[in-house]
Amino acid sequence: MSNNWTEEELKAAVEAYVQMHSNEANKAPFVKREIYSKLASRFGRSEKSFEYRMQNISYVYSLMGRGWVTGLKPAKNVGSKNAAVIERLISEVEGQSFPKIAEFETQVITYKSKINLPKPTGSKNPEKTYTQVTNFNRDPKVKAWVLKEASGKCDCCGSDAPFKTAEGEPFLEVHHLRRLADGGSDTVTNAVALCPNCHREIHYGINKSDLINLMYKKLSRLVCE
């Protein structure tokens, strides 16, 4: 991703992307090409450049464990600094806290790609940072019902829970198919019980959409929001 994009251009691209993301979640129609065309006319860039920038934004969404707009496959050559800027802009536009995940994860990926990576010394006293976190008041009855209905088996892969908790209960994690932060409901029609592996894959896996669609077909109680 080129460094000569201004903050104004990046913010306009992020605003358009967030709107598309919201429209898709709410099943509201939109035409990506028209959006690129308006941005291109506004800033004097090509439609193709904005389309590719949208793919960079998809990549940042993927690093944040979130789904991306259909048809905008993540393009990963963003760079840690640009990823951090995009993540910050996403948080600002959506009015949510800035998790600072993308910059860290892109740095991890860059270091992993090095042929020779010296053993790091790390930090015995990591610096602390404090951020504002947005929490949702969830209904404990919903979580209890979903876990009880699962009977100790992952709703996605069907495997037994990997271990039992200190209370002797099978450990599964409840996941909202449409995230609460994206306007999803805290209801049994939007929640599933997952093993940790499936839960991570639904957040970060390349086939996350396929897994979500599989569960909609598998569990009749679920309603796509």
Mean pLDDT on 12-16:
96
- What's the first-to-final CA gap in the chain, in angstroms? 33
CATH 1.10.30 maps onto the chain at 140-218
- What pTM was computed for the model? 0.70
CATH-assigned architecture of domain 140-218: Orthogonal Bundle (1.10)
Q: What is the pLDDT of residues 20-40, one digit of tens each?
A: 999 998 889 999 999 999 999
Q: With contact defined as beta carbons under 8 Å apart, do 23 and 61 qualify?
A: no
Query: Which is more confident, 118 or 52?
Result: 52
CA distances 34 to 17, 30, 161, Å, are: 13, 8, 47
Q: What is the pLDDT of residues 110-155, one digit of tens each?
A: 888 888 888 888 888 888 776 666 667 888 899 999 999 999 999 9
Q: What is the pLDDT of residues 64-77, one digit of tens each?
A: 888 889 999 998 88
